Amino acid sequence: MSVTKQDVEYVAVLARLELKEEEKEGMIADMNSILQYIEKLKELDTEDVDIVVNPYYIENKFRSDEVTESMPLSEVLNNAPETLEEYILVPKVIEG
Amino acid sequence: MEFETVIGLEVHAELSTNTKIYCGCTTEYGGKPNTHVCPVCLGLPGSLPMLNKKVVDYGIKAGLALNCRITKLSRMDRKNYFYPDCPKNYQITQDEFPLSRDGYIDIEISEGVIKRIGIERIHIEEDAGKLLHTNSGTLVDFNRAGVPLIEIVSKPDLSSPEEATLYLQKLKSILSSIEVSDCKMEEGSLRCDGNISIKPKGETKLGIRSEIKNMNSFKALEKALGYEFIRQEEVLNSGGKLSTETRRWDESTLKTYIMRSKEQANDYRYFPEGDQVTINISDEWIEAIRSTIPELTHEKLARFIKEFDISSYDAMVLTLSAPLADFFEATAKISMDAKSSANWLMGDISKLMNEALITAASLKFTPEDLSALIKLINSGTISNNIGKKILNEMFLTGKSPGKIVEEEGLTQNNDEGEILSAVIEAIKASSTSVEDYKNGKTRVVGFLVGLVMKATKGKSNPQMVNKLILQELNKL
Amino acid sequence: MELHKHKAHELKDMISKREIKVQEVITSFQARIDKVETDIGAILYNDFEKAIEKAKKLDLSLEKGENIGILSGLPIGLKDNISVEGMQNTCASKILEGYISTYDANVTEKIKSSGGIIMGKLNMDEFAMGSSNENSAFKPCRNPWDLTRVPGGSSGGPAAAVASCEVPLSLGTETGGSVRQPAALCGVVGLKPTYGRVSRYGVVAFGSTLDQVGTLGKDVEDCALITSAIAGLDKRDFTTVDIPVQDYKKSLTKDLSGKRIGIPKEFFGEGLNEDIRKKVEEAIKVLKANGAIIKECSLPLADYSLAAYYIISSAEASSNLARFDGIRYGYRATDYKDGIDLYYKSRSQGFGNEVKRRIMLGTYALSAGYYDAYYKKALKVRKLIKDDFQRVFKDFDALISPTSPSTAFKFGEKKDDVLAMYLSDIYTVPVNIAGIPAISVPCGFVDNLPVGLQIIGNYFKEDILFNIAYSYEQSENWHNTMPSMVPCLSIKVGE
């Protein structure tokens, strides 16, 4: 499987990354190099194998429905690049 | 060309838990912006989600109430997309193994005609924050980010906007009666998006569908889907082509418009949520939840008709609220007079409750009291009119009817001898009445009844008074 | 007093005997930092004022005869992706420059409540992606044994800081060998605990099903000490488990009679430097002499670990790093056209190249049409690798291998060959995939550069790892050698 410029541009949009033209070339080469190595996995027959998400089976961890203290507003806003009163401010977003 | 509609609905309901789905922040409404957040729901680096057990309980409950199969081994997945109201730029939801699948709701599409609408799946997920668009930019408030939702996806079994509305109403009724959500469309705790496509009558292949959003009331749902059918029909009839779109219903212009898409590509790249673990739902857990599900409204309605032999209209009114239904049932069982029980509750008592702005849960008197009242009237101890007076007193003070009758000496007089004397007195006192009666003016009977009642302070058995008056008049 | 030359357990001993005060220890280490940090570059943030204030409080408690906890006032360095309230948490990235944590990680809370003093935040590869610390957006970190060479990564700062005696103990993180490999390259001890042994709450996520906080110290006893302090269940991290933490001190013995140690042949194949192989073979002889039963074994699936690792870790990272968007915190670009462009500009300007590469790879592996072939396939291979280890652990208590195929390489040597850099992790990564624990302990020098011996154990068998590592260590003397740092003076113990 080979990655094309179109693939790289599509993936960059999904990842919200803006790549300059020169960067795209490098990215195509790097991705292909890694994907080439990853082809190795095709050597293994995994037809009847279950997937493993957590490294070992863990089940039924829950939290009870009890209210805990929230963060003070000042802490929420302190790290925000731009705020307006109690809100975090971002440039106007077109209704999606 | 004649077309038929195919509709599927995606409903989101806010679950009425105390805390959010992945953290202990409160789900209470109000509160200053960004004051109900923590590192988890704000998506701070290093934070980890903690699944609220009650959310899973409610999800299972909804699945059972909607006749679904509960998934034994379930898990959470990530849905990846970028948007300012999404703190992590992914939503933790369920993709491959939702809590339940393959359920149904039965709707009555016309008198006695039931249609079964399939439910594809039900899963739990988190809500996003809120955006406020102003001239200075977009303001983001994360208070609602992380509020737990269930998403209920129907099969495309609905064939008209009317059916869609019936389905949504029934769904709302069920979810409220199991108390997992307060289901208020106006407040946003019940949201509905519709997928609608049309196909030539008789054709099995489905047409191109559009997703309709922003329908904020039952009325809007019906209007929007109705409009969309016509729009799609016009396009196809004029030889045009439809495309898969997301459209927004505009309540002011009563039209749907294409929405500008949130992101170019809707490739959500679902994959398992590695910070959460497998949800293993045992049979014991399911049964424990099942035992908390009350009789659902439509089940109660059907039972009332059968068990108490009341009309379907009466049954519908009485089951509109759970406390009212419970009050009726208790009264009917104790008094053994379901009809009277229904009449009192639907008539005088409902009027009093509406004026006082209370529900049957806050009535001061009990079903035993109402039964006693019904028994007093049925046995002739008091008249119906006296009964109404007593009811008012019961409503205001909570005193039992027996006590009120005693205190105010309201026992109906059934003594024929006494009533006869009063009748004779009344006839004597009213000289013209005999003449009038003999001349065919039967209205005087009512006049004489009034005189007797006044003389006996309303306590005389009205039927007896009537009978004796006629008896005496006819003698003369 | 040159307190910085001592091991943590020695200092702890002296403090409890009231031979020295905590303040003296802090001051001594700070002086060491002031002297060597310009050359080493392991520290991104250091607050002496706060540290000495805490030291004063602990000294007062000690005077009252109070117990101040097992970490006894010792200064600890934390990799700059572990949250400490009020301190930066940059992950060595521009995108988090200026970000101040508003809460403590679970391990931070545990260190504080055990009497540890957080000396500062340590350098790393950006977002823990790298094997040389060359991907730090702020400054390079240098190997104390040879300042022209890398310390390894991504926990280059934690390893170099301990090796150069800037701190006696440090915490790093691992996703694919990022504590063990730098530990090996810097000649210190580094442990990756079993997945779920230590809480990830407050640790900036890279690969959710792979990440673990790792511990580093000058010797095995030190490593065991800090591990005891931070291990345990945390109800805020659902992937931690309710298994009691063993008393690691009991494992610090030399006798290995009856211990069955396997030598997986796949870890000794092509690509392994001959001199390193010899060092590891010598180490194996020592273990045998101490009573262990040594036998060859095979882990055929190990060869596939790196490929599976790159898919799983990149995919998870592409999602975990999505939150860095300039909206709620971190770097926000100023030259954006509109609300959507804000994301593109902030992320593209804030992230370094390696991070972008991994995000791109991960996004691709999860995208429609490729999910089954890449991500799902990798998760199935994961099951096979786990099963492979379980099969071997039926017959063995632990496995031995070199930690790294090479010693510390020169700056820039592997930077342009992405795959060559990734292959540095070939022996360490299978461990992360399976979630089992492993430790790296120094086993000698090749061309004056440290070599690490890796010991791998089954789930929650950190006690066996400490036992074998301690037994080996105490039979040699590598833990008592210290680096000389050109152009700084050599400070070999005993001089």
B202-259 pLDDT per residue, tens: 898 999 989 999 999 999 999 999 999 999 999 999 999 988 888 999 999 999 998 8
Residue A95 is predicted with a pLDDT of: 55
Residue C190 · residue C218 · CB < 8 Å: no
pLDDT at C156 over 90: yes
Q: State mean pLDDT over C44-61.
A: 97
Residue B365 is predicted with a pLDDT of: 95
Question: Given the structure tokens 């992914």, which residue do they identify?
Answer: B90
For residue B191, the one-letter residue type is R
- Rounded to 5 degrees, what are φ and ψ at C475? -90, -10
Mean residue pLDDT of chain A comes to 93
Residue B411 is predicted with a pLDDT of: 75
Can you tell me the distance from the alpha carbon of A34 to that of C311, in angstroms, rounded to the nearest whole number?
10
Instruction: Give the model confidence (pLDDT) of B18-37 as tens digits.
Output: 999 999 999 999 899 999 99
CA distance A93 to chain C (A): 5
Q: State mean pLDDT over B388-398.
A: 93
Q: State mean pLDDT over C133-141.
A: 97
pLDDT at C494 over 50: no
For residue B114, the one-letter residue type is I
Residue C1 is predicted with a pLDDT of: 64
Give the pairing type, strands B113-126 and B148-154: antiparallel
Is the pLDDT higher at B411 or at C134?
C134
pLDDT band with cut points at 50, 70 and 90 for residue C428:
very high
Residue C393 · residue C435 · CB < 8 Å: no
Can you tell me the distance from the alpha carbon of C346 to that of C332, in angstroms, rounded to the nearest whole number?
5
Q: Cβ atoms within 10 A of the Cβ of B413, count?
A: 17
Residue B56 · residue B124 · CB < 8 Å: yes
Can you tell me the distance from the alpha carbon of B237 to that of B241, in angstroms, rounded to the nearest whole number?
10
Residue A88 at interface with chain B, using a CB cutoff of 8 Å = yes
Instruction: Give the model confidence (pLDDT) of B99-155 as tens digits.
Output: 999 999 999 888 778 899 999 999 999 999 999 999 889 999 999 999 999 999 999
Instruction: Give the model confidence (pLDDT) of C190-244 as tens digits.
Output: 999 999 999 999 999 999 999 999 999 999 999 999 999 999 999 999 999 999 9
Axis-axis angle for helices B297-308, B161-177 (nearest 10):
90
Can you tell me the distance from the alpha carbon of C286 to that of C292, in angstroms, rounded to the nearest whole number?
9
Catalytic pick among C83, C178, C199, C313:
C178
For residue B92, the one-letter residue type is I
pLDDT band with cut points at 50, 70 and 90 for residue C421:
confident
Closest CA to A93 of B141, B213, B133: B133
For residue C319, the one-letter residue type is S
Can you tell me the distance from the alpha carbon of B251 to that of B215, in angstroms, rounded to the nearest whole number?
8
pLDDT at B388 over 90: yes
pLDDT band with cut points at 50, 70 and 90 for residue C113:
very high
Residue B435 is predicted with a pLDDT of: 81
Residue C493 is predicted with a pLDDT of: 35
- What radius of gyration, in Å, describes the C-alpha atoms of chain B? 31
pLDDT at B1 over 60: yes
**One-character DSSP codes across C357-408:** HHHHHHHHHHSTTTTIIIIIHHHHHHHHHHHHHHHHHTT-SEEEEES-SSSP
pLDDT at B453 over 90: no
Look at B100-109, B322-331, C419-428 and tell me which has the smallest mean pLDDT: C419-428
Residue C320 is predicted with a pLDDT of: 98
Distances (CA, A) of C154 to B248, B253, B405, C121, C425: 48, 58, 89, 14, 11
Query: Could you tell me the two tokens for B22?
Result: 């992945």
pLDDT at B262 over 60: no
Mean residue pLDDT of chain C comes to 95
pLDDT band with cut points at 50, 70 and 90 for residue B426:
confident
Are A62 and B51 a contacting pair at CB < 8 A? yes
- Provide the 8-state DSSP code for C179: T
Nearest C-alpha in A relative to C326:
A81
Question: Given the structure tokens 């957006």, which residue do they identify?
Answer: C137
For residue C485, the one-letter residue type is M
Can you tell me the distance from the alpha carbon of B92 to that of B270, in angstroms, rounded to the nearest whole number?
10
Is the pLDDT higher at B435 or at C64?
C64
Q: Which residues pair with C402 in a beta bridge?
A: C453
Residue C21 · residue C59 · CB < 8 Å: yes
pLDDT band with cut points at 50, 70 and 90 for residue B450:
confident
Closest CA to B385 of B448, B460, B287, B317: B460
Residue B314 · residue B308 · CB < 8 Å: no
Residue A96 is predicted with a pLDDT of: 46
Are C238 and A90 a contacting pair at CB < 8 A? no
Instruction: Give the model confidence (pLDDT) of A59-76 as tens digits.
Output: 999 999 999 999 999 999
Nearest C-alpha in B relative to C326:
B84
Residue B263 is predicted with a pLDDT of: 42
> Which residues of C fall below an 8 Å CB-CB distance to B?
81-83, 89, 91, 96, 99, 101-103, 105, 200-205, 207-209, 235-239, 315-316, 318-319, 322-325, 327-329, 339, 343, 363, 366-368, 371, 375, 379
B-chain residues within 8 Å CB-CB of C105? Answer: 46
B373: which residues sit within 8 A by CB, 6+ positions away?
B344, B387, B390, B391, B394, B401
Can you tell me the distance from the alpha carbon of B330 to that of B304, in angstroms, rounded to the nearest whole number?
12
Residue C415 is predicted with a pLDDT of: 79
Query: Could you tell me the two tokens for A47?
Result: 């037809």
Look at B109-113, B165-169, C454-458 and tell me which has the smallest mean pLDDT: B109-113
Percent of chain A with pLDDT over 70: 96
pLDDT band with cut points at 50, 70 and 90 for residue C490:
very low
- Provide the 8-state DSSP code for A59: B
Instruction: Give the model confidence (pLDDT) of B349-368 as tens digits.
Output: 999 999 998 989 999 999 99
Residue A17 at interface with chain B, using a CB cutoff of 8 Å = no
Q: State mean pLDDT over B427-437.
A: 82
Percent of chain C with pLDDT over 90: 92
Percent of chain C that is helix, strand, coil (3-state, to 5):
45, 15, 40
Q: What is the pTM of this model?
A: 0.87
Residue B115 · residue B61 · CB < 8 Å: no
Residue B417 is predicted with a pLDDT of: 85
Percent of chain B with pLDDT over 70: 99
| Out of B23, B32, B131, closest to residue A86 by CB | B32
Residue C492 is predicted with a pLDDT of: 41
ipTM: 0.96
pLDDT band with cut points at 50, 70 and 90 for residue B68:
very high
Q: Which residues pair with B154 in a beta bridge?
A: B119
| Out of B54, B132, B264, closest to residue A65 by CB | B54
Are C366 and B269 a contacting pair at CB < 8 A? yes
Mean residue pLDDT of chain B comes to 92
Q: Is B272 exposed, middle or buried (0-12, 13-18, 19+ CB in 10 A)?
A: buried
